[in-house]
Amino acid sequence: MNEIQKYIEILRDRLNQVIDQFRIRAFGPNNERLDFLMDSFYKLQPKERVGVLAGVAGGIGFVIIVAFAIYFSQVNRLKAELNEAFAALHELQELKAEYSIEDARFQRVVEQVQKKTGELQVKPFFEKVARDTLVQIEGLNVQKNPLEADNPLGSKMQEVKVKDIRINNSSIPKVLNFLIEIEKAGNYIRVQDLEIRGRFGNRLYFDTKLTARGYQVGG
């Protein structure tokens, strides 16, 4: 209702401005033209006065018609503006509802990552998995980097990259078991790059190099 009243007030102001401009142009700033016309009218003959009155009546009728035309034109314009305003308001409400749903999903993702990785120490985690799977790792290098500027998670999370992990002289089953246990732990860490090379003269044991990637909440 406030929007409707606002547009009604705007319409009234516009009509008042049109009336004021017409009055000034027709009668002068201080009605000088009106006084002159009245003096001239009383100096006319009766028949001439009748003709003048008829012309004035016709002019007044024309002005009334023009005023109504302007009025209805402004009313139609007001209706169109109101329809656009209500359509925009409806669209805004829909976008707000969609935003609330997406924001709730976003918060759930952040909470899940926080729950799993809030107290995670990356290097000790990899060392423990290595001990449990009976492999020996070397060269573990942990890097934490901010996410891309256009990533909505960038304000809450950071990327964790574990580089240059080497597993030398180990069998394929042990390496695979090591990789599976890393991803099964639920710490949002996944193997990104994997390179396995055979050892010269030995078909059972291999040298492995890998990079893992994950996420943590916080700076």
Percent of the chain with pLDDT over 70: 75
Does pLDDT of 1 surpass 70?
Answer: no
Rounded Cα gap, residues 33 and 31, in angstroms: 5
Does pLDDT of 17 surpass 60?
Answer: yes
User: pLDDT at position 83, please?
Assistant: 81
Which residues, 6+ apart, have CB-to-CB distance to 219 below 8 Å? 158
Q: In Å, how far are 58, 59, 61 from 47, measured between CA atoms?
A: 17, 18, 21
C-beta of residue 214 within 8 angstroms of C-beta of residue 180: no
Locate tokens 């069998």: which residue? 171
User: pLDDT at position 219, please?
Assistant: 55
- What is the CA 167 to chain-centroid distance, rounded? 47
Q: In Å, how far are 80, 165, 182, 211, 216 from 195, measured between CA atoms?
A: 66, 10, 17, 9, 25
**What are the tokens at 69?**
């035309």
Higher pLDDT, 145 or 218: 145
Does pLDDT of 40 surpass 80?
Answer: no
Task: Tell me the average pLDDT across 157-172.
Answer: 89
Nearest C-alpha neighbor of 126 from the set 73, 163, 172, 80: 163
User: pLDDT at position 91, please?
Assistant: 84
- What is the CA 184 to chain-centroid distance, rounded? 37
Q: What is the pTM for the complete model shown?
A: 0.53
Percent of the chain with pLDDT over 90: 14
Locate tokens 């390179």: which residue? 195
Task: Tell me the average pLDDT across 95-117.
Answer: 80
User: pLDDT at position 185, please?
Assistant: 87
Higher pLDDT, 56 or 103: 103
Task: Tell me the average pLDDT across 80-96.
Answer: 81
Does pLDDT of 198 surpass 70?
Answer: yes
User: pLDDT at position 25, please?
Assistant: 65
- Angle in degrees, CA 49, 50, 56, rounded to 5: 85
Task: Tell me the average pLDDT across 21-34.
Answer: 62
Does pLDDT of 32 surpass 80?
Answer: no
Nearest C-alpha neighbor of 138 from the set 169, 179, 106: 169
Alpha helices in the chain (DSSP H): 2-27, 32-42, 46-117, 122-132, 172-184
Please tell me the least confidently modeled range out of 1-10, 88-97, 168-177.
1-10
Does pLDDT of 120 surpass 60?
Answer: yes
Is residue 162 classed as helix, strand or coil in its secondary structure?
strand
- Angle in degrees, CA 194, 134, 171, rounded to 5: 50
